[in-house]
Amino acid sequence: MRYRTYSHDRRFGLAAIAASAFCILTIGGATAANAADIPGSKDPAFLKRYAGSEIISSATRSYDSYDLIVPDPKDASKTVTKTLEGPITRIYYRVPAGHTALEILRNYEQTVKAGFTITYEGLPCQTDGGRERADRAFQSSKTLMTITGIHGGGFLGNPFVTQGGSAAFAPSDGAACFLTATQNKGGQNTALTVAVGEKHDTGSAKFTDNPPIVFKPGEILAMVDTATPKALQLNMTTTKAAADIPGSKDPAFLKRYAGSQIIFSAMRSYDSYDLTLPDPKDPSKTVTQSLEGPITRIFYRVPVGHTALELFRNYEQTVTAAGFTITYEGLPCQTDGGRQRADIAFQSVKSLTANTGIQGGGGIGNPFVTQGGSPTFAPSDGPACFFTATQSKGGQNTALTIAAGEKYDTGSSKFTNTPPIVFKPGETLVMVDVATPKALQINMVTVKAADMASALKSNGVFDLYGVYFDTDKSDVKPESTSTLDEVAKLLKSDASLKLEISGHTDNTGETNHNMQLSDARAKAVVAVLVSKYGIAAARLQAKGYGDTKPVAPNDTDANRAKNRRVELRKV
């Protein structure tokens, strides 16, 4: 369980205490459904509704996280949240005008007490602190923004926020309050949050159902959240889908989620990959570790009826069982920070913009970006999260990034396959990246002395790409031997030939540093030719030009590689 402390006072107004002491509450509970209830909705099996109320929105999450508000065991005047995982249901009721928030809350409280234990009461029902406290209750499920059909600035399933997106209740709305409760029955735990609020500013928020629901002044909104924490049922399989794109396959060590299909697969023979890890100086932040080697990226489409967290946990447990160590969790799965964090994961392969076949204005392999090209998730898309993991086996390191995100705005992006793949609302997209860092296998063809002589005769200059240095170093690597053999042969075949050995870099780094580095590399090549091959030092000049003489624009990795070179110049 995770606990986060908030400093909200737990106060009870004298008027409320007096009312409860001298009045007998008339319970208005009812078990009958309302003809105006939205189709397919129903009350929780163990809970009555307030008489005359109607269900205006209902959503179920097959597996998700829920923050239950409970008193802080260290300070009962404050609260903490206990994070639960399992199925979650959220129901909104509209109660006719003529009642108060406290009246509805007390009705639910006494009904709930029949089998539950009240764990916290967010009282009194009021328009300032009460609304602020109840605001937290409406945020208990981080993912219930889009699926509840709530319009209101995108603030996490809270129908009281202003249209401008304020994080607090609309100031002209009425009193609000809430309670939380728990039950253990037959070995199954159940947690409840019931929040009520009076609607007076009808323009502050409305449901986006068709036709939209507009509240009348004085009506009351009641929210009932039911969370039933339970262990996750793994649903991974080795069975391929007939609809997988031709030639695609799962990673050898990893199962897929049952019923999912591969809709895209790309392989990079050798590329750079940014693995997200916790910042060792501040674990609340992240850093990236750059890896180089073969990279595979696979996208799976998972049918409607599952959640991002459900997929996340299935893959996480499967990866752990396969011998990997989880290095970072981008949680919770949610629509704001969660999408921004998962956006990082979709950008891990810098070169997979065009290769993934994804539309989105250059969103670097991210199928959640808007068509306009914003580098973050489409605001109307659903919750997303990711994790990274590593393994070392038989001397080979492997790094994984697995991200899951729910699709609701089907127009936000689509794959450019023919015919294009369009997502159904509620489907989930899973990305699996596999990076296997390893040393590069040098596969260069050695240029012959005769070719160098011909180029120097006609052009006076020749670019060498077979002389190797480590990044930001000037020591000539052993892999350069075959190329330098040919340079020495060139010089020995023509005793009158004098050369300037020129060093060049790309534009990465500071100009002065690049100049010094290129000069040091040129001098290192001269030193090898003199000491190893016996070439007279007087025939060779070393000079560094840094990034001042590029042969290609420094706009891609391939072009920057062309600019990193040793040049032979006839003098």
**Range in 44-58, 159-173, 498-512 the model is least confident about:** 159-173
Q: What letter does residue 169 receive in the DSSP assignment?
A: B
How far apart CA 318 and CA 475 sit, in angstroms, is: 44
Share of the chain above pLDDT 70, in %: 72
Q: Which amino acid is at 371?
A: Q
* pLDDT score recorded for residue 129: 61
Instruction: Map tokens 């959503």 to a residue.
Output: 59
Over residues 140-148, the mean pLDDT reads: 50
Judged against a pLDDT cut of 80, whether residue 354 lies above it is answered with no
- Is-cis flag, bond preceding 283, omega within 30? no
- CB contact at 8 A, 93 and 9: no
Most confident among 160-174, 255-269, 398-412 (mean pLDDT): 255-269
Domains plus CATH for the chain? 5-227 (no CATH), 241-435 (no CATH), 449-570 (3.30.1330.60)
284 band by pLDDT with thresholds 50, 70 and 90: confident
The beta-strand segments (E) located in 73-139 are 75-95, 117-126
* pLDDT score recorded for residue 25: 45
- CB contact at 8 A, 529 and 540: yes
Burial 166-175 (b: 16+ CB within 10 A, else e): beebbeebbb
Judged against a pLDDT cut of 80, whether residue 232 lies above it is answered with yes
pTM of the model: 0.69
pLDDT for 413-454, tens place per residue?
A: 455 444 566 778 788 889 899 999 886 666 666 789 999 999
Over residues 280-304, the mean pLDDT reads: 89
Tokens of 519: 């000069």
How far apart CA 523 and CA 531 sit, in angstroms, is: 12
Over residues 361-370, the mean pLDDT reads: 41
* pLDDT score recorded for residue 36: 86
- Give strand pairing partners of 386: 330, 403
pLDDT for 154-196, tens place per residue?
A: 323 444 443 333 333 344 467 888 999 999 999 999 999 998 8
Judged against a pLDDT cut of 50, whether residue 373 lies above it is answered with no
Residue 228 exposed, middle or buried by CB count within 10 Å (0-12, 13-18, 19+)? middle
Q: How many CB atoms lie within 10 A of CB 249?
A: 12
555 band by pLDDT with thresholds 50, 70 and 90: confident
pLDDT for 536-552, tens place per residue?
A: 999 999 999 999 999 98
- Give strand pairing partners of 325: 390
Over residues 320-349, the mean pLDDT reads: 78
In this structure, what are the phi and psi dihedrals at residue 262, rounded to the nearest 5 degrees?
A: -80, 120
499-504 and 540-546 beta bridge pairing: parallel
Share of the chain above pLDDT 90, in %: 44
* pLDDT score recorded for residue 442: 61
Who wins on pLDDT, 203 or 295?
Answer: 295
Judged against a pLDDT cut of 70, whether residue 265 lies above it is answered with yes
Q: Which amino acid is at 403?
A: A
Mean pLDDT, the chain, integer? 79
Over residues 459-476, the mean pLDDT reads: 90
- Give strand pairing partners of 258: none
Instruction: Map tokens 């991002």 to a residue.
Output: 308
Who wins on pLDDT, 464 or 204?
Answer: 464
5 band by pLDDT with thresholds 50, 70 and 90: very low
User: Could you tell me the CA-to-CA distances from 99 to 103, 106, 138, 141 in Å, in that order?
Assistant: 7, 12, 21, 27
φ/ψ region of 431 (left if φ > 0, alpha if ψ in -120 to 50, else beta) reads beta
* pLDDT score recorded for residue 281: 93
- Give strand pairing partners of 54: 94
